Chain A
Amino acid sequence: MILQNLSIKRKLTLITMLTSSMALILSSAGFLIYDLVSFRHLLTQDLMTQAEIIGYNSAGAMEFKDEPAATATLAALTAKEDIVTAVLYRPDGKIFAYYFRGSATLPAYLPSRLQGKGYRFEGGYLEVFHDVTLNGEHVGTLFLQSDMRQWSMRARRYAGILIIFVLVSGLFAFFVSSKLQGLISNPILHLEDTMRMVSANKNYAVRAVKSYGDEIGRLIDGFNTMLSEIQQRDTALQSTNGELKTRTQELEEEIFHRKQTQEELLNAKHAAEEANRAKSTFLANMSHELRTPLNAIIGYSEMLEEETRDSGKIENVQDLRKIQTAGKHLLSLINDVLDLSKIEAGKMVLHLETFEVSQVIEEMVTTLQPAAAKNDNSIHVHLADNVNMMRADITKVRQILFNLLSNACKFTDHGTVSVNVEQIKVEDRDWIQFQVRDNGIGISAKQKENLFQEFAQADASIARKYGGTGLGLAITHRFVQLMKGHIWVESEVGQGAIFTVRLPAQVVIETADSAQPESASKAVPVETKTGLETILVIDDDPSVRDLMSRFLTRMDFHVVAAANGEEGIRLARQVHPLLITLDVVMPDCDGWTVLNRLKSDSELAEIPVIMVTVVDNEAMGLDLGASNYLIKPVDRDRLAVLVEKHRVTRSSTIKDDNPVPLSYVADRQADRQADGKTAGRRVSKTRRN
């Protein structure tokens, strides 16, 4: 394992060295073994030859039992260094003569038994047995023992030489392999160096140097190709990066410029709006300035007319009438301009109240009857059964209808103007849809484009022929928008026109933080006997309820009191009182909410509500439909007057069952200026008259 982690240089050297040394050792060992084996064989042959010679020489001595001769023969072996023992045995196995090297005594070791001719290796010695014969007769046995001194000396020497040889050649192999391993390792190390350099410096311009055309060379080639590819991509990336940076900078500059432009535009817009506001204010002021002299013109002519009539100069009355009519026309034009400038100045406010649609239609038709008669037109009204009450700004609804109807009458001759009113459901909401249809001169497609624009009459000749400021439809359009409704026209030249106005059945003022009005309840009111004389007091303070009850009872009213809003609304439904006094600050359901719910309930909307509270917000109270607003502590006299007034109003309305009299011609001017309340009061007054 350690080997595997060695550097390639070491590995190569080691492999080369080990391989060559191993081969050398193996071959040398083979040769050595072969040499030693053959040398031993030689030694054996030599010893056996020796034994034959000694056997031959000593055969006579054995035959003749000449022991000294035999011993002498054996003694000749002294010359042979390696023979350590020589023994001559008689055929019966007894020792006849012997020779021992180095000592005169019998050595400890002697063969235990004799054997036939042959040799053997025994305990590091070579032993040879030889039969001594004389003339073919066995006379004894010769035993020779050699310590193979020559062989072991040779073996030792050879081993020494071998070791030296191996060492020297190993050294040489190390030297050579150290030199030659560079062939393989150098390029690899170079490659590694290059790689390290590239990854450390991220410098893809560096290239590895190719030394040979072998596999490593190809590896380096591949590496270089890879590097140049990376370099290319890097360069491309860098240039892209640069481009991106430039582009980002450009974008930033563009954004800056745009912001500047936007700011300039915004400033310009503000300036334009300011200018527009100034224009509107100017127009409003101008209108007021114009109204003052008109005031005198109309007033004096009316007065003169009265005086002239009294003095009997009837011939002047007509002329004075003309002055009045012209003055009133001029006034209506000025009012149109004023209306528009009020809308543009954002000063037009909605006064919502719940009213009967049929009544408004009736009023308008009556009002416009003279205008229709002027061109011999007849007005037809169709009111769908489902049209009942709606909650909106009645003055503006009147004006919308007035404008549409007077236009229809104005641009139609000997024709029919029909009014269609129905309640429809679109997108889950209830709408009241007014449709005014005529068969007059009609409107061309081009004229339609600017129809609802200010100061844009169909064309200049129309102004000369029919008069008007061209503001009527613009104002109508704005009013419809204010009430979140829609207006559109269908017409063709010569085919008459159909103007359709769609208003929510329950108009809601968006900015009001009051709750949404509930849908009008269709419950049948529970009329009580004392209903007309009953006053409902809604207040959470028991002392206030007590005081109000006592005070109003003294004025001959029946008083019902409720301690909270819910109870108040329930009682209002039950007793249908003449009047309700309402506190604002109450737990759970506050006075504003109660007021809103009362006014959005068709059954209860008609009941006048007097706010009696410590909260000083009369504008809100009146906006939500309250009739009067009293701040606690209550001025009793004022309360008495207000309550009495309502008693008078109500009783007069009840006594008089006549429909709206024709004499009630709603002067547009009057309607515009009078808020809903005063208008209502005026209606009742007119009825009384």
Chain B
Amino acid sequence: MQKILLVEDNEMNRDMLSRRLQRRGYCVVTAEDGEKGLLLARSEAPDLILMDISLPAMDGWEVTRLLKANLSTRHIPIIALTAHAMVSDRKKAIEAGCDDYDTKPVDFGRLSEKIENLILEKKLS
């Protein structure tokens, strides 16, 4: 079973997304802020991370940078989720080391495609 770490501060979104992912057959671990996300990424070794960008205290960009800088976590694909549908955000996501990017509200079909894609890529590599 593929394990997905969901870092999201909004309780409803966290609950909704984790439940839907579970329905798709993923094992979901959730974190409500960046620091917990960072800890869980190391301890749980998920296959993929869904990272909300606008987090309190340490934002998603920062968490992503730290994860990508660490040897034990750098291989985990990260999909950034942002409410800012700006082109500059897409650039920023790539720059921070995210492997893909999606905007909220999430189109669940599209998001799960992206997740599948990245997990496939990871397998291939």
Contacts and interface: CB of A to CB of B under 8 A. Distances in A.
Contacts of A645: 121, 124
Contact of B105 (A295, A349, A622, A644): A295
A349 B13 contact: no
Chain B CB within 10 Å — which of A299, A669, A675, A685 has the most? A299
Contacts, number: 83
Contact of A288 (B23, B83, B124): B83
A492 B117 CA distance: 51
Interface stretch (A57-65, A300-308, A509-517): A300-308
A4 interface: no
A618 B91 contact: yes
A446 B84 CA distance: 38
A1 interface: no
A292 B107 contact: no
A441 interface: no
Nearest to A310: B23
A461 interface: no
Contacts of B105: 291-292, 294-295, 298-299, 331
Interface in B54-84: 83-84
B90 to A, nearest CB: 7
B83 A291 contact: yes
B16 A292 contact: no
A292 to B, nearest CB: 6
A679 B109 CA distance: 13
Contacts of B94: 618, 622, 629
A303 B23 contact: yes
B102 A303 contact: no
Chain B CB within 10 Å — which of A338, A618, A641 has the most? A641
Contact of B124 (A294, A641, A667, A675): A641
Contacts of A303: 16, 19-20, 23
Contact of B106 (A295, A349, A638, A667): A295
Contacts of B85: 338, 672-673
A470 B121 CA distance: 43
Nearest to B12: A296
B54 to A, nearest CB: 9
**Count class of interface residues, chain B:** 20 to 34
A298 B20 CA distance: 12
B25 to A, nearest CB: 13
B29 interface: no
B95 interface: yes
A292 B83 contact: yes
A682 interface: yes
Given A618-B91, A641-B121, A295 B104 contact: yes
Contact of A291 (B88, B90, B104, B107): B104
Contacts of A292: 10, 13, 83, 104-105
B22 to A, nearest CB: 10
Given A299-B108, A674-B110, A288 B87 contact: no
A114 interface: no
A347 interface: yes
Interface in A290-344: 291-292, 294-296, 298-300, 302-303, 306-307, 331, 338, 342
A619 interface: yes
Nearest to B54: A288
A610 B90 CA distance: 18
A667 B104 CA distance: 14
Interface in A258-307: 288, 291-292, 294-296, 298-300, 302-303, 306-307
A296 B13 contact: yes
A667 B107 CA distance: 9
Contacts of B110: 670, 674, 682
A215 interface: no
Chain B CB within 10 Å — which of A288, A295, A296, A667 has the most? A295
Nearest to A345: B86
Interface residues of A, number: 39
B102 A302 contact: no
Interface string B94-117: 110000001111111010010001
A669 B108 CA distance: 12
Contacts of B113: 682, 685
A637 interface: yes
A645 B102 CA distance: 19
A302 B108 contact: yes
B125 interface: yes
B17 interface: yes
Interface string A445-466: 0000000000000000000000
Contacts of A493: none
Contacts of A42: none
A306 B90 CA distance: 31
A110 interface: no
A237 interface: no
Contacts of A342: 86
Nearest to A629: B94
A209 interface: no
A640 interface: yes
Nearest to A289: B83
Contact of B95 (A618, A637, A667, A681): A618
A296 B125 contact: no
Nearest to B16: A299
A673 B20 contact: no
A295 B8 CA distance: 13
Contacts of A672: 85
A185 to B, nearest CB: 100
Nearest to A639: B125
Contacts of A306: 20, 23
Interface string A342-356: 100001010100000
Contacts of A637: 125
Contacts of A681: 117
B33 to A, nearest CB: 17
A682 B106 CA distance: 16
Contacts of A685: 113, 117
Contact of B20 (A302, A347, A670): A302
Interface of A: 288, 291-292, 294-296, 298-300, 302-303, 306-307, 331, 338, 342, 347, 349, 351, 618-619, 622, 629, 637-638, 640-641, 644-645, 667, 669-670, 672-675, 681-682, 685
Given A619-B91, A682-B110, 14 more contacts: A291-B83, A291-B104, A292-B13, A299-B16, A299-B20, A299-B108, A300-B12, A618-B91, A629-B94, A637-B125, A638-B125, A644-B121, A670-B110, A673-B85
* Top-4 shortest CB links A-B: A295-B105, A296-B12, A299-B16, A288-B83
16 contacts: A292-B104, A295-B16, A296-B13, A299-B13, A299-B16, A299-B20, A299-B105, A303-B23, A306-B23, A618-B91, A629-B94, A637-B125, A641-B121, A641-B125, A672-B85, A674-B110
